[in-house]
Copies of this chain bind each other. A is one copy, B any other.
Amino acid sequence: MKNITEALMWRYATKKFDTNKKLNDEALNQILEAGRLSPSSFGLQPWKFILVENTELRAKLREAGYDQAQITEASHVLIIASRNDLSEDYVDNYMKSTALAQNVTVDTLSEFKSYLMNTISSKPNAEVIKNWNARQVYISLGIMLETAALLEVDTCPMEGFENAKYDELLGLNELGYSSVVMLTLGYRDESDESLKRAKSRFGTEEIIIRK
């Protein structure tokens, strides 16, 4: 495994993937597991990870993704979707899952549930909740990007695609989720032009403020 700083310096938004190299199950599962274990506000995990392996579907995603090559050329394509709402049903399902993990009855979590429902209903409107959920998705994205880099797996995070079309193609509307961001995964083709460009980051003195 690479050192963290090395791994983050090594990673870049891969434009050209080596179409002959596939991720093995071990690496893929480790990245998905990192996504699954990601923290989120109140632990609500308002996300689904859609792994698309069907070739025809990937071709359609590319079409609705401004024809970006990675969508069909990367070893794997993952779309991260976030929940449209935080209904009481959803919270109850989360409470059940938590009770099971902690080996307690759901009743012992009633105070936590009330607190959570109050927090949710204090949000000014449905759009705020939707946005709140979408933000959490980016925590899992960051964690999967770092995990992939540590395993020397290349990635390209992509926001540029027709969200409504993706939701339709992936059947997300019926589930109450919306596509937020896509993560293509695989191995770089060493002829990728992007590889020639040095990483551009603001200096420490520019982005870190000490008070």
Residues of A bordering B, CB below 8 Å: 1, 3-5, 8-9, 11, 13, 30, 32-34, 36-39, 41, 43, 45, 47-54, 57, 94, 97-98, 101-103, 131, 134-143, 145-147, 150-151, 157, 159, 170, 197-204, 207-211
Contact = CB atoms under 8 A, between A and B. Distances in A.
Contact of A208 (B36, B98, B210, B211): B36
Given A101-B201, A197-B102, A37 B5 contact: yes
A103 B146 CA distance: 27
A36 B204 CA distance: 7
Number of copies: 2
B209 A98 contact: no
Contacts of A41: 159
Nearest to A3: B1
B159 A200 contact: no
B102 A200 contact: yes
Nearest to A57: B211
